Amino acid sequence: MGGMKYAIASRNHPVYWAFVLHRASGLALAVFVPVHLYTLSLAVREAARFDAFLEWTENPLVKGGEALLVLLLAGHLAGGLRLLALEFLEWRDWQKSIVAITLGIAAACGLLFLMNAP
């Protein structure tokens, strides 16, 4: 029999999930930022290709993807502020509520983006 492969159930608590989301959104943004900068550079160098790209972004699927990115960015930002508050302000016992507030802020930003999307 191999090593001790049993589920680590101790990870299943809200603040751990907040950590997982923060890490995942960070990685996703790290992939997105170079793409973002590249397309911006197109606007300067090759206006025609950039316009074609902008047309592509009118596609509802791409719009959904953009909303997801806004959600990730807002979530990562709010999560970072949560950590700074946790570590540099006095301890507060309502940590789970702080995680919920963080998620709420991210969701609100995502919704605002979708509502303002043409």
Partner 1 sequence: MSGREPPEPELVVEIWRGRESGEFVPYRVARRENQTVLDVVSHVQRRIDPTLSYRFACRVGMCGSCAMTVNGIPRWTCRTRVDRVAGNGRVRIGPLRNMPVIRDLAVDMAPFFDKWQRATGRFVPSDADNRRTFARVPPGSRERQAADAGIECIGCGVCYAACDVVAWNSDYLGPAALNRVWTLVNDSRDGARREHLAAAAGDAGCHQCHSHQACMSYCPKGLNPTAAIAGLKRETVKSLLRGEL
Residues forming contacts to partner 1 in the complex (CB under 8 A) are 1-4, 6-11, 13, 15-16, 19, 83, 86-88, 91, 95
CB of 101 to partner 1, least distance (A): 16
CB of 89 to partner 1, least distance (A): 9
Distance of alpha carbon 19 from alpha carbon 12, whole angstroms: 11
The residue among 71 and 82 lying less far from partner 1, judged by its C-beta, is 82
CB of 77 to partner 1, least distance (A): 17
Tokens of 114: 């979708």
What is the SS3 assignment for 17-42? Answer: HHHHHHHHHHHHHHHHHHHHHHHHHH
The residue among 55 and 87 lying less far from partner 1, judged by its C-beta, is 87
Q: What are phi and psi of 58, to 5 degrees?
A: -75, -20
CB of 99 to partner 1, least distance (A): 10
The residue among 39 and 95 lying less far from partner 1, judged by its C-beta, is 95
The residue among 38 and 88 lying less far from partner 1, judged by its C-beta, is 88
Distance of alpha carbon 48 from alpha carbon 58, whole angstroms: 16
Distance of alpha carbon 62 from alpha carbon 39, whole angstroms: 14
